[in-house]
Amino acid sequence: MRVGRPIPALPQPVCDNCGAKATLAQAGEDAYPHLEDHGPVWICVLCQAWIGVWARSKHNTPLGRLANAALRKRKSQLHDALEPLVAAKMRRDGVNAFEARGKAMKWLITSLGLEVATPSIHALSLEQCEQAIRYVEEFQASRQANRLT
């Protein structure tokens, strides 16, 4: 039992696409976007934008902003673009994948000067994801060019 001031409930997420309030969906419900149970998600039923919930969150804290199909695709592409950098960091510095991804995201967000609450792919907008993908691709290309010369 908690003693002291009560913790206020987190605000219900609002969809960036249509402005509707998201609803919490669990596995087995009609609105749930997965066939298997991947944990609860906040979902906008009107435009099918959704985001997962932090693992072991007692307050169903969303991972970031609700993402429609286009944003989910860009986030996946950004993950794929960052993966060679993450693997190199793991080999070079002997860190685990979580730490390497965190450092890669922090580097990327700082390099681009993006204003986000947390250095995470979950917090990025569609335009920010596209900008980040271009930046990582240009960075990789410049590294390849330097190796060849």
**pLDDT tens-digit series, residues 31-46:** 887 778 888 899 998 8
Give me the half-sphere count of Cα atoms (radius 13 Å) on the Cβ side of residue 68. Answer: 12
What CA dihedral angle connects 39, 126, 69 and 77, to 10 degrees? -80
Cβ atoms 7, 61 nearer than 8 A: no
SS (H, E, C) the chain: CCCCCCCCCCCCCECCCCCCECEEECCCCCCCCCCCCCCCEEEECCCCEEEEECCCCCCCCECCCCECHHHHHHHHHHHHHHHHHHHHHHHHHCCCHHHHHHHHHHHHHHHHCCCCCCCCHHHCCHHHHHHHHHHHHHHHHHHHHHHHC
CA–CA dist 144, 136 (Å, integer): 12
What string of pLDDT tens digits covers the 149 residues of the chain? 567 776 666 678 888 888 889 999 888 888 887 778 888 899 998 888 988 888 888 888 888 888 898 999 999 999 999 999 999 999 999 999 999 999 999 999 999 998 877 778 888 889 999 999 999 999 999 988 887 76
Percent of the chain with pLDDT over 90: 44
Write the pLDDT tens digit of every residue in 117-142: 777 888 888 999 999 999 999 999 99
* Residue 34, pLDDT score: 77
